[in-house]
């Protein structure tokens, strides 16, 4: 209860102080409002204009997946499908890359535009700080990405925003296509090696077949049956001939099976390589747009900074608050000095 009473008393004292010095607060408020309003004019602060691009990411990067995919419909392979959270994060990461910043700096000559002195130390740090402060990337609630550019020139701001969106598409295509070209080159080498191995194995198989081994399992079964029949008949000539054929099978049969099986697996791999070859060839040769732009940037006709009204209100409030603190300090000091004088009089 005592604390509440003290708090109420303090608030009441402050209110009395404001009423007592209301003219002072009025003058201070008017003066600070006039000064802050004047200082926020273009003569002191260059106004900035904001332009924005809103775009969506695509769901797939590979042309082959979109065009050559077979089977049931898959929304992630739909050329018209928007990207998900992961695609949005990838888009923002690429937009924040140094390569895009450097491209914008060079194309729009931002060193001169921002009046950067390249002879001074840390001029690059200052330049990139300007770029970071004036160019922002953010995701919207609808899984889109908004590119926002602020500049003292409204036309330049809109041009920069549109250029960032366009160059993102170029950069993303280069990344995807470069990866596809590298995969295509690797696949070409693997196909050459596979074709060479198949050719060599076919030659080996032809040499083995020239020895009389055409189908190891079938020949072995047939010769063993024939051997039993001729042996039962007592046909020594036929038995001798079959033994010679069995010796040939025994000598070349395992090699035949090994070469045949290896050739089978290599031909299966060759089919897979041919399918992948077609896909990577398409991806290395063609690319699709990597974004959907739903709103292009246009030059703004109204400045976004500074906000004169906001600056005036905040400045006036802060000055009045500071004045209140000074008056409280003044009153407390006055009461303290008065108390000291009373004590000195009583002691005297």
Residue 291, pLDDT above cutoff 90? no
Domain map of the chain by residue range?
1-45+306-348, 46-181+288-305, 182-285
What's the pLDDT at 155? 94
Most confident of 86-90, 273-277, 311-315: 86-90
What's the pLDDT at 40? 64
Distance CA 33, CA 39 (A): 10
What's the pLDDT at 74? 46
pLDDT higher at 40 or 7? 40
CB–CB of 188/277 below 8 Å? yes
Condensed to tens digits (0 to 9), the pLDDT of residues 162-189 reads 999 999 998 988 888 888 888 888 888 8
CA angle 115, 117, 122 (to 5 degrees): 120
Which residues, at least 6 apart from 118, have a Cβ–Cβ distance to it below 8 Å? 111
What's the pLDDT at 73? 42
Query: What residues form DSSP beta bridges with 116?
Result: none
What's the pLDDT at 158? 95
Burial category of 93 from C-beta neighbours within 10 Å (exposed 0-12, middle 13-18, buried 19 and up)? exposed
Taking the domain 182-285, which CATH number applies?
Answer: 1.10.287
Which residues, at least 6 apart from 323, have a Cβ–Cβ distance to it below 8 Å? 24, 25, 28
Condensed to tens digits (0 to 9), the pLDDT of residues 330-345 reads 777 777 776 777 766 6
- Residue 76: name the closest of 89, 86, 65, 68 by CA: 65
What's the pLDDT at 249? 74
Confidence of residue 3 (pLDDT cuts 50, 70, 90): low
What's the pLDDT at 60? 62
What's the pLDDT at 76? 44
What's the pLDDT at 6? 56
What's the pLDDT at 97? 92
What's the pLDDT at 57? 85
Average pLDDT, the chain: 80
Condensed to tens digits (0 to 9), the pLDDT of residues 222-249 reads 878 877 887 787 778 877 887 787 777 7
Condensed to tens digits (0 to 9), the pLDDT of residues 60-105 reads 655 555 555 554 444 444 555 666 778 888 999 999 999 999 999 9
CB atoms within 10 A of CB 340: 10
Condensed to tens digits (0 to 9), the pLDDT of residues 105-160 reads 999 999 999 999 999 888 999 999 999 999 999 998 888 899 999 998 999 999 99
Distance CA 26, CA 21 (A): 9
Confidence of residue 210 (pLDDT cuts 50, 70, 90): confident
Name the CATH topology of 46-181+288-305.
Bacterial polysaccharide co-polymerase-like (3.30.1890)
CB–CB of 198/263 below 8 Å? yes
């Amino acid at each position: 209860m005592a604390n509440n009473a003290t708090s109420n008393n303090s608030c009441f004292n402050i209110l009395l102080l404001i009423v007592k010095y209301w003219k002072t607060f009025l003058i201070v408020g008017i003066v600070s409002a006039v000064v802050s309003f004047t200082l926020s004019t273009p003569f002191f602060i260059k106004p900035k204009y904001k332009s924005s691009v809103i775009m969506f990411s695509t769901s797939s990067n590979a042309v082959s997946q979109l065009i050559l995919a077979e089977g049931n419909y898959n929304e992630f392979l739909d050329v018209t499908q928007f990207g998900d959270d992961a695609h949005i994060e990838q888009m923002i990461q690429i937009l924040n890359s140094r390569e895009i910043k450097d491209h914008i700096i060079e194309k729009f000559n931002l060193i001169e535009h921002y009046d950067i002195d390249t002879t001074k130390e840390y001029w690059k740090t200052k330049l990139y700080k300007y770029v970071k402060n004036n160019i922002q990337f953010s995701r919207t609630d609808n899984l889109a990405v908004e590119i926002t550019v602020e500049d003292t020139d409204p036309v330049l701001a809109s041009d920069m925003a549109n250029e960032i969106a366009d160059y993102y598409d170029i950069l993303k295509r280069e990344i995807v296509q470069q990866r596809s070209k590298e995969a295509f080159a690797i696949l070409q080498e693997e196909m050459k090696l596979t074709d060479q191995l198949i050719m060599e194995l076919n030659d080996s198989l032809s040499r083995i077949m020239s020895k009389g081994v055409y189908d190891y399992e079938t020949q072995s079964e047939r010769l063993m049956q024939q051997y039993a029949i001729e042996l039962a008949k007592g046909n020594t000539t036929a038995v001798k001939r079959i033994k010679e054929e069995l010796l040939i099978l025994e000598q070349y049969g395992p090699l035949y099976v090994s070469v045949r099986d290896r050739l089978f697996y290599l031909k299966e791999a060759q089919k897979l390589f041919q399918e992948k070859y077609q896909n990577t060839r398409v991806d290395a040769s063609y690319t699709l747009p990597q974004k959907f732009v739903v709103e292009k940037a246009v030059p703004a006709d109204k400045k976004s900074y500074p906000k004169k009204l906001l600056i005036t209100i905040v400045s006036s409030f802060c000055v009045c608050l500071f004045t209140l603190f000074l008056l409280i300090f003044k009153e407390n000091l006055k009461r303290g000095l008065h108390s000291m004088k009373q004590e000195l009089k009583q002691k005297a």
